Amino acid sequence: MVLIVGLGNPEKKYETTFHNLGFLAVGEAAEKLGVKFKKKECEASVAEAFVGGERVILARPVTYMNASGRAVKQLMAKYKASPSELLVIYDDFDLPKGKLRIRAAGSAGTHNGMRSIVGEIGTSAFARIRIGIKDPALNIPVMGYVLSDIAKEDYPLFAAACSDAADAAIRFARGESIERVMNAYNKNEGEA
């Protein structure tokens, strides 16, 4: 079993904000797997797929970003998922925009959704895909920036990043080791 969680905020007004890139990426993974988000459970919108005979749960918490951990904890309990079976996709202000960074574990950094997850499940030893959003040309406080809309000219860049994140998540769901997925997608290791 694999649990793939994309972080974001549930209201329509947040749909095209940087903070919803996790939602967009997990939505892209669902589309590539031919499944839809039909169920609401464990404070999340959920889609279910089978990849190579393995059950894969795709989820978008509806708790709002800062309480994402509540939904993740409930989903892990319901599906009896261990931290090694969890993959979280989210935006990251510390990475250049459009850059992917995949890790097997790590700190929550400055991300409140990840802090919530680590706090609720009691470990940071789970895989994650970070989608960079930092634009050095803009000087906006982090909170205002992550909740701002993605500029139209940047849509192709972020659409490509979300598609790559979805592909990486599907490879993880197929049973590829997180190290192999990291080697395929992490570029320019000298950055963040």
Q: What amino acid positions are annotated as catalytic residues? A: 19
Residue 149, CA distances (Å) to 14, 18, 60, 110 in order: 8, 7, 19, 20
Helices (H), the chain: 21-33, 68-78, 112-121, 142-146, 155-173, 178-185
Q: Where are the beta strands (DSSP E) in 19-111?
A: 39-41, 44-51, 54-61, 86-96, 100-103
Q: Find the distance separating the first CA and the last CA of the chain, reported in whole Å.
A: 31
Phi, psi at 37, each rounded to 5°: -80, 95
